[in-house]
């Protein structure tokens, strides 16, 4: 690798575990530092264990991106989409003005992956909800990195990113070195390790999320074992985070609009279904 000053790690966390989910970032903690990235869950589903799914629940003002490196997930949402997301695929849900969705593991193999929340720009936070599901073969790859959102090298995600954002799933073999050079303007950057052991100037262990200093510098990674991790970079989100239980907006007025739409959809879901 070319010599470069190491980009400092300024925050690190192992989050808090709740059953099969480890919450690594929330809008009230590191989400304030790494916005537009405001929430990250590391998910480890185990076979033959009950209550591992996510019941039907609402969002507004954000987009969620779910990537399972291992294990398939059944999904449904109030845009009318339903099906099974195969391991290696991507679920993109732009909640916008309001949406409800649900998901649960299927099959008898372990499931491991991440769910990310992204704070939407003001122009999109109350737009109609939109969902998009990419099969594994539709997720492009550049070197060791699968491009979940944005562009890396010659590879670009089919999902229309809401702002200047790149989100990658990276696999490095033991001893492999890799440099990530962020696009111009991407001064926010972080990485979270699902499995293995990395160094990026300092060690980063399995189950750990690190935030890098605000800078446009490249980041050099070295894998000490076979390692899977996700990496995000972006231009900073210019707004304060106005939060509800399942929502993040830029103003109280926008949050109130989202809450109204969430309640409207919720009332519809609670209505008895008429026979066809």
Structural domain harbouring 265: 12-45+61-270
Q: What is the DSSP string of 39-90?
A: EEEEEEE-TT-SS-SEEEEEEBSEEEEEEEEESEEEEEETTS-EEEEPTT-E
pLDDT bin (cut points 50, 70, 90) of residue 105 is: confident
Q: Residue 2's pLDDT is what?
A: 45
Mean predicted confidence (pLDDT) in 79-99: 93
Q: For the chain, give the percent of residues with pLDDT over 90.
A: 79
Q: Is 258 helix (H, G, I), strand (E, B) or coil?
A: helix
Mean predicted confidence (pLDDT) in 35-41: 97
Q: pLDDT (tens digit, 9 = 90+) per residue, 221-237?
A: 999 999 999 999 999 99
Q: For the chain, give the percent of residues with pLDDT over 70.
A: 94
pTM: 0.93
pLDDT surpassing 60 at residue 50:
no
Domain count, the chain: 1
What's 196-225 look like in SS3? CEEECCCEEECCCEEEECCCCCCEEEEECC
Look at 132 and 103; give whichever has higher pLDDT.
132
5 found inside a domain: no
pLDDT surpassing 90 at residue 29:
yes
3 found inside a domain: no
Cβ contacts of 65 within 8 Å, gap of 6 or more: 90, 91, 92, 93, 115, 116, 118, 148, 149, 159, 167
pLDDT bin (cut points 50, 70, 90) of residue 18 is: confident
179 found inside a domain: yes
The Cα 270–Cα 5 span in angstroms is 57
251 found inside a domain: yes
2 found inside a domain: no
**In CATH, what number is assigned to the domain containing residue 198?**
2.60.120.10
Q: Are 9 and 210 in contact (CB under 8 A)?
A: yes
pLDDT surpassing 80 at residue 197:
yes
Partners of 149 in beta bridges = 167
The Cα 70–Cα 88 span in angstroms is 7
pLDDT bin (cut points 50, 70, 90) of residue 104 is: confident
List strand residue ranges (DSSP E) for 135-218, in order.
Answer: 141-142, 145-149, 151-152, 155-156, 165-172, 177-180, 188-195, 197-199, 203-205, 209-212
Mean predicted confidence (pLDDT) in 168-172: 98
Q: What's the chain's average pLDDT?
A: 92
């Amino acid at each position: 690798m070319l010599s470069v000053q190491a980009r400092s790690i300024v925050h690190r966390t192992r989050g808090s575990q709740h059953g099969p989910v480890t919450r690594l970032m929330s809008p009230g903690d590191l989400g304030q530092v790494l916005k537009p990235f405001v929430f990250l869950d590391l998910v480890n589903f185990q076979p033959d264990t009950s209550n591992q799914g996510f019941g039907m629940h609402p969002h507004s003002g954000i987009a969620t991106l779910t990537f399972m490196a291992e294990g398939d997930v059944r999904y449904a949402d109030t845009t009318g989409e339903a099906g099974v997301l195969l391991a290696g695929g991507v679920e993109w849900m732009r909640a916008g003005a309001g949406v409800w969705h649900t998901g649960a593991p299927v099959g008898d193999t372990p499931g491991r992956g991440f769910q990310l929340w992204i704070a939407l720009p003001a122009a999109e936070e109350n737009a109609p909800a939109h969902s998009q599901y990419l099969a594994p073969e539709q997720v492009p790859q550049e070197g060791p990195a699968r491009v979940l959102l944005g562009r890396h090298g010659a590879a670009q995600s089919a999902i229309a990113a809401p702002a200047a954002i790149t989100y990658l799933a990276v696999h490095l073999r033991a001893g492999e070195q890799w440099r990530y050079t962020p696009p111009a303007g991407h001064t926010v950057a972080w990485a979270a390790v699902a499995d293995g052991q990395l160094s990026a100037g300092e060690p980063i262990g399995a189950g750990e999320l690190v935030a890098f200093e605000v800078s446009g510098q490249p980041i050099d990674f070295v894998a000490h074992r076979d390692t899977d991790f996700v990496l995000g970079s972006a231009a900073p989100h210019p707004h304060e985070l106005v939060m509800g239980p399942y929502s993040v907006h830029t103003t109280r007025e926008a949050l109130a609009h989202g809450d109204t739409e969430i309640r409207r959809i919720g009332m519809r879901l609670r209505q008895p279904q008429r026979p066809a």
